[in-house]
Amino acid sequence: MLRRLFRALSGTPSAAAVTSAPVAAAAPPDPAPREDVVTRDGALSGWFNHETGEMLPGFDAGADDVVLDVGCGDTPLSLFFAGRAAEMIVADLLPENVTKAAVRLRAAGAASVRELATDTNPLPLESASVTRIVATEVLEHVPDPVRFMAELVRVGRPGARYLISVPDAASESLQRTIAAPSYFEPPNHVRVFSRDDFETLIREAGLEIEHRKLYGFYWTMWWCFFWTCKQDLAPPWHPLLDSWTRTWGLLLDTEQGGQIKAVLDSAMPKSQLIVARKP
């Protein structure tokens, strides 16, 4: 979900190889309101604070940091750190994603970019070689989450910080009733993590949890409407999706918009996230 959020800031959400029916008739979208709504929604959840240099509260990167973005896709979340970190490492199963991610990082001012096309078993990196690890919406795809986490911990230096997210079980339960069958088939979501299971996985990997977050009600509903619209995962968006985004923007404009968003994010989050530290 996080890579979809970051990509949505430029108007195009992403997903892993989900198939759907042909595009239904749709009116031309107005991209400006959508970008504005997604940006405001993310900011209210604490994302991408340019003033503090934090991707999320408690997760920043500076001139001495080596940032690893695992399962980066073609639009890495770590793009936020491109002009801040000493080195950026992008890793993905698909070589074309790695290439595109590296191009975007260099264009954004990254001083040094390393490209890794890998299944992470193992990660082709030295032990204790990175200080910031981003792995968002990846664990639900991997065949062996314990092994995956062991590799992330191995390559982190003592004191390294980790930002890891997975889809929330509440939203996944809702999606299971309406999503295309491929959504829960390889290479897509092959497992669903309860909140307790997610926390246990992180702790048993040897990390200390510093911060937990639930967020993304807007995206939970967006995906529900997406399946109803039966369109490909690309604009132009169906009028229902545009209407939902405008409605969410109107809510955020109200005096209690932020408060209501927080309640809904907790009740039906799209994702759960943990910021952790290697002792």
Average pLDDT over residues 24-34: 45
Coil vs helix vs strand at 55: strand
The 10s digit of each residue's pLDDT in 122-145 is 999 999 999 999 999 999 999 999
The distance of Cα 61 from the centroid of its chain, to the nearest Å, equals 18
Average pLDDT, rounded, for the chain: 89
The 10s digit of each residue's pLDDT in 181-220 is 999 999 999 999 999 999 999 999 999 999 999 999 999 9
Is the backbone peptide bond immediately before 269 cis, with ω within 30 degrees of 0?
no
The 10s digit of each residue's pLDDT in 8-25 is 433 333 333 333 333 333
Domain boundaries, the chain: 2-11+36-277
Question: What six digits make up the tokens of 170?
Answer: 């509440």
The angle, 0 to 180 degrees and rounded to 10, between the axes of the packed helices 217-229 and 169-178 is 10
CATH of domain 2-11+36-277: 3.40.50.150
Residues 6+ apart with CB under 8 A from 121: 144, 147, 148, 151
